[in-house]
């Protein structure tokens, strides 16, 4: 990446591995967490669901954060019941489950989102089954709405909440003015909106002019609405896919490449 300055907006506890990869390829990782992961307002409803997992047919995890927050409580209650089917919304979530010892789970092969998960054959016939969706507070309703329409009984176990950080961005704006930020990696629409608000009027034009590497297609229309006009979609939410998109961008920005 030859000195490519990359703004990494992941929550602080999830940024290390991507930053190391960027630096391995010669880039400069600039940490700017644009999302905070906090405890849920009330653990009681989620814990009540975990107490009765033996009565459920499916547990669907919507993010790595959902996995990391829920698994200690589930292990405390004896782990997953043998008959419980487990699904992950994408590769990063499946990898988080694997890190907690869950070797096999249902996951999409491409398009790592709710729509792709719902399209899988094993979730077509769920009439009469009980499904637990493990997620953060206020997530999308598509999974629950679709599975309910297919005849399932659906409950949410909300195990974290998201907040916008408060930070002094003056040093960050100076780096932009000095040409030190060449790309921004964004993992969610909420993260992008948070960053936009955090930068304020003074920094929003800099963001609009900087190439954005998005990890899901849903981010692109939001970025376009904000006026960002150099948008690239990583093939997946994995670090490898993000690194590949950054390497392609760096090649295009180099004197031998084409402008992005």
CATH number for the domain spanning 68: value is 3.40.50.10090
Residue 259 within a domain? no
In this prediction, residues 180-209 reach a mean pLDDT of 96
Sheet holding 28-31, edge to edge: 28-31, 5-8, 183-186, 212-214, 231-233
Statement to judge: residues 131 and 62 lie in one domain = yes
Between CA 57 and CA 129 the distance in angstroms is: 6
In this prediction, residues 127-133 reach a mean pLDDT of 98
Between CA 185 and CA 237 the distance in angstroms is: 10
User: Scanning the structure block, which residue is given the tokens 């909106």?
Assistant: 193
Statement to judge: residues 15 and 70 lie in one domain = no
The DSSP symbol for 62 reads -
Residue 155, pLDDT > 70, answer yes
Statement to judge: residues 173 and 157 lie in one domain = no
pTM, to two decimals = 0.82
Residue 53 within a domain? yes
Helix (H, G, I), strand (E, B) or coil at 5: strand
Residue 73 within a domain? yes
pLDDT of 254: 59
Count of domains in the chain? Answer: 2
Residue 259, pLDDT > 50, answer no
Statement to judge: residues 94 and 181 lie in one domain = no
pLDDT of 203: 95
**Beta strands at 36-38 and 153-163: parallel, antiparallel or unpaired:** antiparallel
Structural domain boundaries, residue 146: 38-162
Confidence of residue 105 (pLDDT cuts 50, 70, 90): very high
In this prediction, residues 201-215 reach a mean pLDDT of 95
Angle, helices 16-24/239-253, rounded to nearest 10 degrees: 40
Residue 42, pLDDT > 50, answer yes
Between CA 54 and CA 43 the distance in angstroms is: 19
Statement to judge: residues 30 and 74 lie in one domain = no
Residue 241 within a domain? yes
Helix (H, G, I), strand (E, B) or coil at 22: helix
């Amino acid at each position: 990446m030859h000195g490519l300055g990359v703004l990494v907006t992941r929550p602080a506890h999830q940024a290390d591995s991507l930053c190391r990869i960027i630096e391995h390829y010669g880039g400069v990782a600039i940490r700017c967490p644009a999302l905070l992961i906090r405890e849920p307002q009330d653990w009681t409803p989620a814990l009540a669901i975990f107490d009765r997992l033996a009565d459920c047919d499916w547990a669907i995890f919507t993010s790595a954060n959902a996995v990391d927050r829920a698994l200690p409580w589930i292990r405390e209650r004896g782990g997953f019941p043998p008959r419980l089917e487990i699904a992950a919304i994408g590769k990063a979530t499946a990898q988080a489950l694997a890190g907690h010892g869950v070797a096999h789970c249902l996951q999409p092969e491409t398009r790592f989102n709710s729509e792709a998960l719902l399209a899988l054959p094993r979730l077509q016939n769920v009439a009469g089954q009980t499904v637990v969706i493990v997620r953060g507070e206020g997530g999308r309703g598509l999974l629950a709405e679709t599975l309910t329409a297919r005849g399932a009984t659906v409950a949410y176990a909300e195990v974290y909440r998201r907040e916008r950080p408060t930070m002094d961005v003056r040093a960050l704006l100076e780096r932009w003015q000095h040409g030190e930020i060449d790309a921004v990696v964004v993992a969610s629409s909420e993260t992008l909106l948070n960053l936009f608000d955090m930068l304020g009027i003074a920094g929003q034009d800099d963001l609009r002019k900087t190439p954005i590497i998005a990890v899901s297609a849903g981010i692109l229309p939001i970025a376009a609405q904000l006026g960002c006009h150099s948008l690239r979609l990583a093939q997946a939410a994995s670090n490898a896919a993000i690194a590949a998109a950054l390497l392609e961008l760096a090649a295009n920005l180099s004197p031998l490449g084409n402008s992005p």
